[in-house]
Structure 1
């Protein structure tokens, strides 16, 4: 059934470390299926097997694998005009103008090539602006493959989370638990005049989808303001997916100093961006003293895909459609878990969803959380819901990876590679896809 994927993987092991170009793609064991092509909300693998695809490129595919005609036409036109110029183009300006019109906190923008590059540049900028070195991050969060955030441990004993990062680098990072206001306040009391910024996701969407408790983001914003630190919102995943064109910050009513983008802002092409207040963003070279550059930054194909994709969303019912399907999935999954696995938890919001394989010794999720865990204190499961990214490490990760996900694949449904990644709804998905997926969950749990 997967013979061609196995043969390709055998070849890949000789020329690619682990047979892949990103570690998460190695799942499931003993070898991954290799994608051949996409078709709307579906993927066909190298053996010709067809799947409902909820991975969606790990989030950037707002429209699935078939871009709307205006987006495809714009990309093809730009590619035909030349791959890259080493010169500015009007298209970069148009895209930046669109973003600044729709995202409340963004007055100026610098395009880069990935979400990782965006967060790297944002951290450098915060340190330069404040003339301080320490960055507060959330335990279990993910901000790309960069030295300042691949750090684990507690506030007083940070350490690198991977080989290759000096301990001296990790000492400038302060990891705190997401949704823990008391620890955040204590860190600012002890290190406030050393903290350049707080780097936080609106929703910890790369670590099992942990939703913020009421007041948490407001507390972080106030701590930053009082200490003269910058609040950096990582909207690489949530940007232009949660909260529509205003992003998650418009939904939560937070006004960050700096925002990082990726994923949808490039319409599925490699891109990232750092946006924020003019007084900060204009400190990038050449207008300021903070070096930042990239040969492929503002690449014409990525700019065309991102801009035309967002314009299409502004003129059509894209967010209504994907959010409605996301709600249907979460509501259906909640009913299934009540019957099949009451210790598990449905999480997510908008067009993001997941079943967290929690080990909750508590009643099933109640009506107030039927559409995904919202950290509602009135819910009987409140104390058992995932509160932070590190909680995903306590879930039944092996059961998910070794039993559940392969079973779903055999049912023709692709879900996230592990308990940390999220699932994403696209505009190409249908109600039939939702019903087939719920049937598969019911059979595989």
Structure 2
């Protein structure tokens, strides 16, 4: 493979874009990232004409890969041709909200915004306004966008901003506990229960190696927030309409949060975010309530058309069944490879998500292990060694994953997410052949 065009484009980009990119994770690939020219079904072609099986898929917004179904494409073109946007309400945003409210268990009303970050910012504001409290509980290793409340590091109540430019006063209102640690969840409410506005949690730790909840964890959070009149906020920006199909992860796990944040798939590949919940909470947003929330591009008609028609098509064509079947094939195949070649590593994921985490110290035996990805099953012999928190994932061989394994997979024609933490996504455009080729590449790269 040659990469001269990508190198030259990166050189140009360094002169006009900070770090040569518009989102930091894109620069994680060294010495420079491939520049993509176009997508084709489940593949991407870079600026030098190299073709890769694409498991990044825009980091999650693509349900159909790079091959948009004809009804979705027609809806996008129709709304784009009628004018880009109006700053006025349109019917399509009402239809989209009605569709989501019919399918997601906890949602009666929505407020569409423009990114997952904007959604989580607005959800935290609403939780604070509703409860009259300031503190937000987050999970260490969880990611909720580039916002001041959640860009923190540290433990428990000893948190500090994880980026310059954020006042310490923001971090002082954020309490960070380990994901899957029920004891820590009880402790934080014992210590700060009357100050906690809400718990903001991904149903699956989806931006840190794909860590599923241990049995009963979300039920514990649900009980604690109910007991202390706090709000449980599910961040389904990544899992929404991917894990659990149209009911999202909350439907899969049988938990109804008070608020849900959405992004990625709800916009059909276009910039989007949303907050959903019961009317008693959502109507506290302006103009029906006093909690300010507004945006020029919110409910953008082209995005609404793309999102609605994308989800409608999925409902009518068994899209999620196809995706979940391929995901199962990938994870089962990876488990067989890892058992033979790298038994200390852990296959993670569920439904249309997968990842191989370079964990350390797991037993060599795979007898009675979780099949199809770590499910946090207590009677699994590897249970005490599989990652349960963000720290567990970070303790893996992250440099080996990025510096040795990722380049080898690229050389094999397989494009994975840029680091060990980001999820990888199966789409409707992927095929059995893509899965088989990818598994062969894993064999070579490991």
Give the drift of 1:367: 3.8
Give the drift of 1:368: 4.0
Question: Could you tell me whether the CA contact under 8 Å between 1:329 and 1:434 is conserved in 2?
Answer: yes
**1-side partners of 2:366 and 2:262: how far apart?**
32
Question: Could you tell me whether the CA contact under 8 Å between 1:197 and 1:230 is conserved in 2?
Answer: yes
**1:129-148 map, 5 Å:** 129-148=130-149
Match of 1:241 in 2: 242
**1:163-174 map, 5 Å:** 163-174=164-175
Segment drifting more, 362-371 vs 150-159: 362-371
Give the drift of 1:365: 4.0
Match of 1:334 in 2: 335
> Which secondary structure does the structure 1 equivalent of 2:89 belong to?
coil
Segment drifting more, 157-166 vs 72-81: 157-166
**1-side partners of 2:70 and 2:18: how far apart?**
37
> Which secondary structure does the structure 2 equivalent of 1:371 belong to?
coil
- 1:194-230, Cα deviation, whole Å (9 max, x unpaired): 0000000000000111110000000000000000000
**2-side partners of 1:85 and 1:367: how far apart?**
58
**1-side partners of 2:288 and 2:208: how far apart?**
37
**1:93-104 map, 5 Å:** 93-104=94-105
Q: What TM-score do the two structures reach when normalised by structure 1?
A: 0.99
Q: CA RMSD in A?
A: 0.8
Match of 1:32 in 2: 33
Match of 1:414 in 2: 415
Q: What TM-score do the two structures reach when normalised by structure 2?
A: 0.99
Number of aligned residues: 445
**2-side partners of 1:9 and 1:410: how far apart?**
19
**1-side partners of 2:195 and 2:365: how far apart?**
44
> Which secondary structure does the structure 1 equivalent of 2:155 belong to?
coil
Give the drift of 1:315: 0.2
2:10 is aligned with 1:9: yes
Aligned structure 1 segments of 4 or more residues deviating by more than 6 angstroms = none
Give the drift of 1:188: 0.2
**1-side partners of 2:122 and 2:238: how far apart?**
17
- Cα gap change, 1:330 to 1:367, in 2 (>3 Å): farther
Question: Could you tell me whether the CA contact under 8 Å between 1:365 and 1:379 is conserved in 2?
Answer: no
**2-side partners of 1:293 and 1:303: how far apart?**
17
**1:26-175 map, 5 Å:** 26-175=27-176
**1:250-265 map, 5 Å:** 250-265=251-266
Instruction: Show structure 2 runs of 5+ residues with no match.
Output: none
Match of 1:384 in 2: 385
Match of 2:323 in 1: 322
Match of 2:196 in 1: 195
Give the drift of 1:363: 2.9
Give the drift of 1:11: 0.4
2:347 is aligned with 1:346: yes
Instruction: Show structure 1 runs of 5+ residues with no match.
Output: none
Give the drift of 1:362: 1.6
**2-side partners of 1:75 and 1:334: how far apart?**
40
- 1:120-154, Cα deviation, whole Å (9 max, x unpaired): 00000000000000000000110000000001111
**1-side partners of 2:343 and 2:326: how far apart?**
23
- 1:291-349, Cα deviation, whole Å (9 max, x unpaired): 00000001111100100000000000101100000000000000000111111000000
> Which secondary structure does the structure 2 equivalent of 1:110 belong to?
strand
> Which secondary structure does the structure 2 equivalent of 1:232 belong to?
strand
> Which secondary structure does the structure 1 equivalent of 2:381 belong to?
coil
- Cα gap change, 1:365 to 1:58, in 2 (>3 Å): farther
Question: Could you tell me whether the CA contact under 8 Å between 2:113 and 2:274 is conserved in 1?
Answer: yes
Match of 1:395 in 2: 396
Give the drift of 1:364: 4.2
